Structure 1
């Protein structure tokens, strides 16, 4: 590059170029870490939702069995079932409903607990690129 003050050819200082490269890499790593934090926050929110659904499953199961069991058993008896079979039928139906909610909560928790692989892989790739650049600069 021509220096307008003394009309001599001068290259940009190698140290300044390395500082620019390292600054760019630092910004890239910071961006990747911010992405990882955002994904971790998203996973935490998913875990919270799954816990809420699990709690709903428990509350619904207990409340439904306690509040509706007597009335449903009475209905079963009025339809000709013995009190025992009416109780089994009502309890089984409500238990299946509660199990459905519990399975959904477990699935949400499994999905939320997986690691943010994309961000981790991206940070690893960036670190490998940085190491390669440093090795190349060390040999030149």
Structure 2
């Protein structure tokens, strides 16, 4: 027959189990943090490359627009003096910019004040606190 004391000692005590649980939990948390850090680094790297490419695309688009404007001046210069063609194209661009500015202004005017509801809520809270405080004294 086996010794019951020997079998009992083979099993870890509650304290040992708690120590193991603590160590394993710490290791698991550290491993998860390392994994999250690696994933975040990869995400940031991809976001940086994407942002750089978006910037490059924007620069190329502006250069393309400038070339298109120069082509419009050159096309008008076939029937008008070059200076007149340039003035006409510039005037059209200024009119387009003015229209965009007016539309933008109307859009901005429609934006409500920031956090108006939050400000009103805080004011109501302050009023209630003052009333409650004066009611107690």
Query: Normalised by the size of structure 1, how large is the TM-score?
Result: 0.46
Higher RCO (CA < 8 A, seq sep 6+): 1
Considering only CA atoms, is the larger Rg found in Structure 1 or Structure 2? 2
Query: Normalised by the size of structure 2, how large is the TM-score?
Result: 0.47
